[in-house]
Structure 1
Amino acid sequence: MKDDAPASALSLPLIDIAGLRGADPAARRAVAAQLRQACEQRGFFYIRNHGIDQALIDQVFAASQRFFDLGMADKLAVDKKLSPCNRGYEPLRAQTLEAGAPPDLKESFYVGAEVAADDPRVLAGRFNTGPNQWPAALPDFQPVMQAYYRAARALGETVVRGLALSLDLPASHFDGYLRDAAATLRLLHYPPQPAQARPGEKGCGEHTDFGGVTLLLQDEAGGLQVWDAQQRCWIDAPPVPGAFVVNIGDLFARWTNDRYVSTLHRVINRSGRERFSVPFFFTGNLLHRVECLPTCLAPGETPRYPAVTVEQHQIECYRRTYG
C-alpha cells in the first residue's frame, strides 16, 4: 500500500477539446498533441468544452442524491444481485478495489445500455449486457440517466477518436471498437471518512480502471487522488467547474503497449460531508479484438500482451475485483 501522507499540490493537465468537435483538421491535431502528452505522462487529465449541458449534469447529481436518500428497502428492491448483467444498486462495502485493504466505503448504482432480455446479444450471453433495473419510487430517475448515458457515450466516442489522432492513426481507426460500444454509468455515494477508520479504510481503494477511458463528474467535496509515479506521491484531482476528469483504463494501456498509462487512483472523503461522483466507463464493442497498435511498437520491440477481445479483458478484470 502506498504512503498515506497528504497529497501534494501538483496538478493535472486541463485540455480544451473544442477542436475535436469542429471541422478544422489543424485544431483536431492540436488537441490530439495535448492528449498524447497527457496520456503518456499522467494517464489523467481534465477536459473542458465537452459539449454536455450543465443543466443535464445538475439533473444527474440531483437524481443520484435522491436515489441514495431512499430507504434501504427501496434500494435493495433493485439490488445488483437481482440482475444477471450487473445493473442496479450495490451497498456499502460490497467491493474491495485495493487488495489487502478493507472493503470500499461507498455505495453505488449501475446503469448500462438498455438491451431487452430477448435481444440476441443477451441470449448469446454477452458480458454485462441486458436490461437495467430502475427504482420504482423515482419516476424521473430513468429518463435523466438515459439522457446522460447517451450524452456521455457520444463524448466518449469523441475522446476515443481524438486518441486515435494522438497515436498517429486516422480518426476512424477505432470505429469498429466504437460500433455497438458497451459502457457503464455508475452513480457513487461516499459517506464522510470515519474519524476512527480501520487501517487502510477509504472511500475507494487504490486501483486502475478496467476499460478504455473513464469520464468522471465529481461534486465539490473533492477526495480523488492520483498516484504520481515520478514524484512517488498522491496528488489531488479536485473538481474543476465545467470540466470532466478523464483517465485511461487498462484496456487502452494494453492496446498501446503501455505507452499510454493506466494510473492508480483512490478516493478519501475527508470533506466531512457526503460525496457524490459519476464515472462513465467507456468499454467498447465486446467482440472487438485488441492487440498492440503498430504505432506503439518501436523497432525491435515486441507486444507485451497477447491479443484479447474487449469482453475477455472485462471478464478477467471483474473476476479479480469481485472474486
Structure 2
Amino acid sequence: MASTLEAVRVSNSALPIIDIGGLSSSSLTDRKAVAERLRTACLDNGFFYVVNHGVPGDLTDALFAQTRRFFDSSDATKSAVDKRLSFCQRGFEPMRAQTLEAGAPPDLKESFYIGPELSLDDPRVIARRFNHGPNLWPSEMPGFRPVMEAYFSTMLELSRKLMTGLALALDLDEQYFAAYCTHAHATLRLLHYPPQPPNAAPGEKGAGAHSDFGGITLLLQDEAGGLQVQGKSAGEWIHATPVPGAFVVNLGDMIARWTNDRFRSTVHRVVNASGRERYSVPFFFSGNPDQEVECLPSCLASGEVPKYPPTTVEGHLREMYRRTYK
C-alpha cells in the first residue's frame, strides 16, 4: 500500500478511553470529573473512546447483523430503497457516490441513511425542512426496521447525555444545550467498505479525508479497523484501533464553530487495509435545526473576535451538504 495511506499506531493516551458512567451519577462532582476528561480530549484532537455508556451489547450485535445482511442483499433489494427515491436523504447510496476529499477519487464505500421517522403529513415535512421526512425500509427484511429504530432511540439518549458533559466541559450549566437537544435531528448511517484494492487509483480510499458536519459523532466499528485520525504533525495519521465495547466519539464542525475552534473538529479518513469487508455505523447528532449557533462568549479570549458569523443548525448543515454533494 502506498505510504501516503499509512498510519501510525499509538497508545491510548493519544486517543483516550473515557468512562462516562459518572455522567449518570447523582453527584455533580462525579459528573464534573467526567467532564474534565472530556475537556482535555476536546482541546487536544476532539477524538476519544467512551465506555460504560449503557448501550446493550445485544443491540449492537443485532445492529451489525442487520447491517451485514442488508449489504449482502441483492441489487434489487438495494435499488428498491435507493436514496434517489427520497427527497430527504434517506436510503441506499451505492459505491463511489460521495467524494469527501476534494481532488480525490470518489469514496470506496456504500451506505444506507436513516433519520427520524416523520410522516408525510408532518408540518416539517410539508414545509420541506432540510432532511426531514420518512425513511425507506427494505420490505424483504422485516427485522431491519425495529432494530434500527431501537438503536436510533438509544443513541439519541446517549447523545443528550454527552452534551451535558460537554456543557460542563465548557464551564456552562450542564443543561445549556437542552434546547439544542430538543426535537433533535440526527442521522444513522450504515457503512460497508470493501478491502482496499491493490490497484487503487491514486488517492482512492474508503472515505476521503474530512471532518464531520454536525455536533457529535458516535461511531460503532467492527474489528477490521481502518479509521485514521489526522495527527498534529504534517502528514501524520493515527490509527483509531477498534476497542471492544467502546464507541469512538468525535466532534463535528458545528461544535468547533460554536466554540471558536477551541474544541477541535479533526480531519479523519478510512483506509480498509484489513483484506476483508469492513462495516461501521456512525450516528451523527446534529441537534435542533432551529438552534442558533453563535460563538460562546466563554470561548473568546480577551480581545478575540468570533471566526464565524452566526447561523442555525439547519443553515450550517445545508452549507456542508453543498460542499460534498455537488
Structure 2 residue 299 is the aligned partner of structure 1 residue 296: yes
SS at match of 2:200: coil
Q: TM-score, normalised by structure 2?
A: 0.97
1:272 partnered with 2:275: yes
**Unmatched 5+ residue regions in structure 2?**
none
Q: 1:6 offset after TM fit, Å?
A: 2.4
State the match for 2:149 in structure 1: 146
Aligned-residue identity in percent:
61
Aligned partner of 1:206 in structure 2 is 209
CA distance in 2, matches of 1:37, 1:19: 16
* Mapped contact 1:213–1:249 kept (Cα < 8 A): yes
CA–CA distance in structure 2, aligned partners of residues 41 and 259 of structure 1: 9
CA distance in 2, matches of 1:278, 1:123: 29
Q: Which residue is equivalent to 2:250?
A: 247
Cα distance change, pair 127–5 in 1 and its aligned pair in 2 (3 A): closer
Aligned partners of 2:9 and 2:281: how far apart in 1?
24
Separation of aligned partners in 2, 1:190 and 1:230? 27
Q: Distance in 2 between matches of 1:209 and 1:262?
A: 7
CA contact (8 A) 1:218 1:276 kept: yes
Contact 2:5 2:271 in 1 (8 A): no
Which residue number in structure 2 is paired with residue 125 of structure 1?
128
Alpha-carbon distance between aligned partners in 2 of 1:220 and 1:188, rounded to the nearest angstrom: 14
The Cα of 1:231 is off from its aligned counterpart by 6.5
**1:83 — aligned with what?**
86
1:38 aligns with 2:4: no
Structure 2 partner of 1:172: 175
- Partner of residue 9, structure 1: 9
For 2:74 and 2:137, how far apart are their aligned partners in 1? Answer: 15
Q: How far 1:280 sits from its partner (Å)?
A: 0.1
2:114 maps to 1:105: no
Q: Counterpart of 2:180 in structure 1: which amino acid?
A: Y
Does the 8 Å contact 1:248/1:262 carry over to 2? Answer: yes
Q: CA deviation at 1:304?
A: 0.6
What does residue 157 of structure 1 align with?
160
Structure 1 length-normalised TM: 0.98
Aligned equivalent of 2:137: 134
2:28 paired residue among 25, 29, 33: 25
Q: Is the deviation greater in 142-151 or in 20-29?
A: 20-29
CA distance in 2 between partners of 1:166 and 1:21 (Å): 15
Give matches, 1:159-238, under 5 Å: 159-230=162-233, 232-238=235-241
Matched to 2:228, the amino acid is Q
User: Number of paired residues?
Assistant: 322
| 4+ aligned runs moved over 3 Å, structure 1 | none
For residues 3 and 263 of structure 1, do their structure 2 counterparts lie closer, same or farther at Cα, with a shift above 3 Å needed? Answer: farther
8 Å contact from structure 1 (residues 211, 250) kept in 2: yes
* Alignment-derived partner of residue 285 in structure 1: 288
**Residues 165-199 of structure 1: per-residue CA shift (max 9 Å, x gap):** 00000011011100100000000000000011110
Give the deviation of 1:3 after TM superposition.
6.9
Per-residue CA distance 1:214-256 (angstroms, 9 max, x = gap): 0000000000000012474000001101100000000000000
Q: Is the 8 A contact 1:3 1:233 kept in 2?
A: no
Q: Matches of 2:102 and 2:204 in 1, distance apart?
A: 12
Within 1, Cα distance between the matches of 2:278 and 2:237? 19
The Cα RMSD (Å) is 1.1
Q: Is the Cα contact below 8 Å between 1:227 and 1:233 reproduced in 2?
A: yes
1:61 partnered with 2:64 = yes
| Greater shift in the superposed pair: 236-245 or 224-233 | 224-233
SS at match of 1:247: strand
Partner Cα separation in structure 2 for residue 18 and residue 24 of structure 1 = 12
Does the CA-based 8 Å contact 1:157-1:178 persist in structure 2? yes
d(CA) in 2 for partners of 1:157 and 1:125?
A: 26
Distance 2:24 2:105 in 1: 42
Q: Deviations over 1:124-150 (max 9, x none)?
A: 221100100000110000000000000
SS at match of 1:299: coil
| Aligned mates of 1:9, 1:69 — CA distance in 2 | 31
Per the alignment, in what secondary structure is the counterpart of residue 4 of structure 1? helix
Deviations 1:254-296 (A, max 9, x none): 0000000000000000101000000000000001100001210
Is it true that 1:308 corresponds to 2:305 in the alignment? Answer: no
Q: Structure 1: 5+ residue runs without aligned partners?
A: none
